[in-house]
Amino acid sequence: MVKAKNEHLSIAEAWELLYRTFNGRIEGSSVEVSPDDGLWHVLADDVQAERNVPHYPVSAVDGYALKSDATSNASPATPVILKPHEYSWVNTGGALPLGTDAVAMIEDTSLKGDGDLYVYRALTLGSNVRSVGEDVAKGDVIAYEKDQVMPSLCALFVACGVRRIKVRRRPKSIYIPTGDEIVSPEDLTPSQELPPGKVVDSNSALLRGLFDGWGMSLDIHSLLPDDKEIIREAIRNAAGQYDLVLVGAGSAKGEKDYTAPAIAEEGKLLLHWLRMRPGRPVIVGEVNGKPVVGLPGFSMSTMAVAWTIVYPILCLLSGMDIPREEILRRAIGAGEVVNVGLLLPHSSPQGVEEWLRLKGVQIGEARYVWPLKSGASSISSMAEADAFALLPAEATEYLKGEPISAYFVLPVPWEKRALFQGSDDPAFRRLVRYVRHEGADLAIRNVGSLGGIAALSRGEAHVAACHLLDPATGRYNDSYIDALKPHDQKWIRKVIFLRSQGFILKEGNPKGIKGVKDLARKDVRIINRQAGAGTRVLLDYLLQESGISPSQVQGYNVQTNTHIDAAARVEWGLADVAVGVKAVADVLGLDFIPITWEPYELVIPEEHVGHPGVQALLSAIENPLWRKEVEELGGYRWPE
């Protein structure tokens, strides 16, 4: 394994290294362009005004141009009377006729039928006149080297007669995706299934989007196999034509990770590994004097490295001198960086900076964020996040309510978003759209039935849903809510649908499973759900009813957190039965034996009933369009 000179750096240490190595690297290469074409570029030279602004004496009002001397004794009582040849009308922006030096405003004059102008106010030289060069004098330096050409500066150049400006050339970048297991989305016909072991290249789309957001362009190289010589040649060629080369995946130390050796053989390795998570496997090298960055394969890792390494390099190459505290904000494309309290406690690993994906909610008067799924491999949580935070390497245990500094990328409808915690359900998830049609928003956090009402009791949600069977009574939810609801609160309950729970079985039911009794068979293996899940409570009730002890059931102790994962394990052959909803069996094309209709019940603390998001939710569940969607899903029934 080749070794880089610098390994396991912190982000700050990496930035020092990047600054020392690449600052001003393409400084020499400036181009001359028109102000329009120079928009957003960084100036490579000072710019001087080519003309005065204004370049002639300009009337600042609509009125009568005249010689101010003539009005020196004018007053409302003793107007000065001017003959037609002594004044002329000028519009705002119009040139003062030669010999005039002031403009009388309409309200200070009256024009008589015979053409005489009565002036009721004494004017001094230059009254209501913008003089030559008042805004900008010809020859003035109007912009300095290193200024970025913003739209207003562009307008100033045009106004000052500047036709050509010298700007830093913007870096040309290329991304080279690699990996035997990667398939380009374009190479997959619509009807073609993605074979197992193959992964579609989504990082090209991600990087293209990030570059676009930064106002930078990115070329995408054709997909390369895991072949060191091919990758090496591609890096060599790219470093000849581009200012920045990105290489996808292969940045770790697996047997097929060729980015590091390829860079080392073509140039030099500067850095390997960051003390950051996700995004630890990153490589920075130099080939032909050009920075080459090796990116990790997972999307969230790629994005984290794009923010912390790629964007800072682009700034250095394009001459953008941005203070460090501002670099990450711009890289992330965030608006405000806000201190917000954590809705839930969080453990962060010591010794590495950790990226959190966050979603925001306001409960009562307080605003919170909660962390979404944290795995580097989760693309969904990265796409769902309103905000991101980079936790420092030192801190480890964050308490509930502890403020963290969050970079918001999406506007949060703080006042209108209701937070749902509770049982996962495919039909329920489709309500979000109808809630939005009502002008509100709904955020969903799947924590299971018991988790939902526990969250309500801790004041961490506006609404929950549960389907918890009490094996002792055979009734749903009552005993659980009684146990968890604070005594001083009133919780409103509403069953929104009944859903068919049953056995999810391999297609064709090869083990011939017919009912609960079959779960005790030695050749039948189940996959269970986590403690607190309504579905697990249902299974326990069914087993108890049939007099089967959990120890008789193969796989009883193997558990998973969602309907879909349980069903997928059945599909995958690791279990013969899962308990779950019909909709999920349908998605995976599995068999389904209905067991019971269970009520899916909303629970809303009375104090939140008036919340706009909750109101919209209550209205959305009556929406016939949603009801139609649910009926099409199948496995649902409306309450009587």
Q: How far is the CB of 333 from a copy of itself (least distance, A)?
A: 8
Q: Pick the closest to residue 289 from 242, 251, 246, 248 (CA basis).
A: 242
Q: Contact with a copy of itself (CB under 8 A): which of 203, 259, 449, 477?
A: 203
Nearer to a copy of itself, 477 or 615 (CB): 615
d(CA 560, CA 557) in angstroms, rounded, equals 10
Query: Which stretch, 9-17, 85-93, 467-475, 484-492, contacts a copy of itself (CB under 8 A)?
Result: 85-93
d(CA 392, CA 307) in angstroms, rounded, equals 16
Query: Which stretch, 31-39, 74-82, 363-371, 389-397, contacts a copy of itself (CB under 8 A)?
Result: 31-39
Q: How far is the CB of 463 from a copy of itself (least distance, A)?
A: 17
Q: How far is the CB of 313 from a copy of itself (least distance, A)?
A: 17
d(CA 243, CA 169) in angstroms, rounded, equals 10
Q: How far is the CB of 400 from a copy of itself (least distance, A)?
A: 26
Q: How far is the CB of 600 from a copy of itself (least distance, A)?
A: 17
Query: Which stretch, 25-33, 144-152, 395-403, 535-543, contacts a copy of itself (CB under 8 A)?
Result: 144-152
Beta bridge partners of 291: 286
Nearer to a copy of itself, 297 or 605 (CB): 297
Query: Which stretch, 196-204, 261-269, 398-406, 590-598, contacts a copy of itself (CB under 8 A)?
Result: 196-204
Q: Note whether 155 binds a copy of itself by CB under 8 A.
A: yes
Q: Contact with a copy of itself (CB under 8 A): which of 337, 395, 495, 609?
A: 337
The three-class DSSP label of residue 105 is strand
Q: Note whether 28 binds a copy of itself by CB under 8 A.
A: no
Q: How far is the CB of 343 from a copy of itself (least distance, A)?
A: 20
- Give the residue carrying structure tokens 């400084």: 27
For the purposes of burial, counting CB atoms within 10 Å of the CB of 458, is it exposed (0-12), middle (13-18) or buried (19 or more)? middle
Alpha helices in 168-254 (DSSP H): 203-213, 228-241
* Total residues binding a copy of itself (CB under 8 A): 128
Residues in 282-321 at the binding interface with a copy of itself, rule: CB under 8 A? 297, 299, 303, 321
Contacts of 299 (CB under 8 A, 6+ apart): 202, 203, 206, 377, 379, 382
Tokens of 224: 């390369």
d(CA 196, CA 292) in angstroms, rounded, equals 31
Q: What angle do CA 219, 220, 225 make, to 5 degrees?
A: 150
Residues in 206-245 at the binding interface with a copy of itself, rule: CB under 8 A? 206-210, 212-213
Nearer to a copy of itself, 366 or 574 (CB): 574
**DSSP state letter for 410:** S
Q: Note whether 36 binds a copy of itself by CB under 8 A.
A: yes
Residues in 375-404 at the binding interface with a copy of itself, rule: CB under 8 A? 377-380, 382-383, 385
The letter for the amino acid at 370 is W
b/e for 422-447, b at 16 or more Cβ within 10 A? bbbbbbbeebbebbbebebbbbbbbb
How many CB atoms sit inside 10 A of residue 87's CB? 24
Residues in 475-534 at the binding interface with a copy of itself, rule: CB under 8 A? none
Q: Note whether 606 binds a copy of itself by CB under 8 A.
A: no
Nearer to a copy of itself, 249 or 484 (CB): 249
Residues in 406-445 at the binding interface with a copy of itself, rule: CB under 8 A? 409-414, 426, 429-430, 432-433, 436-437
The three-class DSSP label of residue 432 is helix
Query: Which stretch, 80-88, 108-116, 119-127, 470-478, contacts a copy of itself (CB under 8 A)?
Result: 119-127
Query: Which stretch, 121-129, 261-269, 469-477, 595-603, contacts a copy of itself (CB under 8 A)?
Result: 121-129
Q: How far is the CB of 95 from a copy of itself (least distance, A)?
A: 4
Tokens of 393: 């390497």
Cα four-point dihedral sign 472, 478, 479, 481: positive
Q: What is the 3-state secondary structure (H, E, C) of 578-590?
A: EEEEHHHHHHHCC
Q: Contact with a copy of itself (CB under 8 A): which of 21, 116, 121, 146?
A: 146
The three-class DSSP label of residue 461 is coil
Q: How far is the CB of 476 from a copy of itself (least distance, A)?
A: 25
Q: 72, 50 in Cβ contact below 8 A? A: no
d(CA 208, CA 245) in angstroms, rounded, equals 14
Q: Note whether 167 binds a copy of itself by CB under 8 A.
A: no
Nearer to a copy of itself, 117 or 481 (CB): 117
- Give the residue carrying structure tokens 């009912």: 515
The letter for the amino acid at 305 is V
Q: How far is the CB of 618 from a copy of itself (least distance, A)?
A: 18
Tokens of 424: 């996962």
CA 219 to each of CA 172, 302, 422, 426, 570: distance values in angstroms, whole numbers, following the listed order: 8, 17, 44, 39, 42
Q: Note whether 256 binds a copy of itself by CB under 8 A.
A: yes
Query: Which stretch, 78-86, 192-200, 458-466, 511-519, contacts a copy of itself (CB under 8 A)?
Result: 192-200
Residues in 523-582 at the binding interface with a copy of itself, rule: CB under 8 A? 558, 560, 562, 564-565, 567-569, 571-574
Nearer to a copy of itself, 162 or 313 (CB): 162
